[in-house]
């Protein structure tokens, strides 16, 4: 039986591979400067800080037999400013000034493809299921639980972004009621990653 709970800092070693798998090429494009897996080290750091887009405070995990099998993140338009300030602090502390400027520039470019959630919309992000548990309906169960929680909060609209390289996920989202609202073309690329085109999807609750 799958249970859902809030993330905690001690989940870091199980959660970060999941978070990274939610968008490895995009993560590397933004956060890998000196070496390919640098983003992994940054995500470890940011997750344990708690606050922000990658912090444990705004993520939940699905647990089965005392093992984390899936991850999901939540952010709202009200978080946008706080997330930006937190990201700037974390990036400068982790990367140092010169590399931080480069990461910030990359991040701003990627945000032209995947934008922060609009006003009065809750964003579902960093959704991932562990490799050995895929194909068992866990992702669908995680999303349904997330939507049920939002409905109880009186949320009217939930959004997400899906990469053109992930058509299976798009099919799942459409089956659950998400509708494509727009598409952002992405042709970003560097030594370690890339930012591909994404479709923005919403569901009304």
What domains, with CATH codes, occur in the chain? 2-204 (3.40.630.30)
Instruction: Determine how many CB atoms are found less than 10 A away from the CB of residue 23.
Output: 25
Which residues lie below 8 Å from residue 149, measured CB to CB, with a gap of 6+? none
Report helix, strand or coil for 185.
Answer: strand
| Residue of 58, 52, 61 lying closest to 17 (CA atoms) | 61
Total-model pTM = 0.96
Contact 164, 198 (CB under 8 A): yes
pLDDT digits (tens, 9 = 90+) for 122-173: 999 999 999 988 888 999 999 999 999 999 999 999 999 999 999 999 999 9
């Amino acid at each position: 039986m799958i249970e859902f709970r809030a993330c905690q800092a001690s989940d870091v070693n199980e959660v970060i591979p999941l978070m990274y798998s939610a968008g490895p090429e995009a993560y590397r494009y933004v956060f890998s400067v000196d070496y390919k897996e640098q983003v992994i080290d940054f995500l470890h750091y940011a997750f344990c800080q708690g606050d922000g887009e990658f912090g444990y405070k705004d993520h939940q995990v699905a647990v089965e037999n005392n093992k984390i099998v899936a991850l999901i993140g939540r952010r709202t338009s009200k978080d946008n400013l706080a997330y930006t300030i937190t990201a700037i602090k974390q990036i400068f502390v982790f990367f140092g000034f010169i590399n931080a400027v480069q990461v910030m520039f990359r991040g701003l470019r990627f945000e032209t493809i995947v934008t922060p959630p609009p006003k009065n919309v809750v964003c579902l992000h960093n959704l991932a299921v562990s490799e050995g548990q895929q194909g068992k309906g866990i992702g669908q169960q995680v999303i349904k639980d997330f939507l049920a929680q939002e409905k109880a909060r009186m949320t009217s609209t939930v959004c997400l972004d899906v990469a053109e390289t992930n058509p299976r996920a798009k099919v799942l989202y459409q089956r659950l009621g998400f509708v494509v609202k727009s598409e952002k073309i992405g042709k970003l690329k560097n030594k370690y990653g890339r930012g591909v085109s994404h479709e923005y999807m919403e569901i009304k609750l």
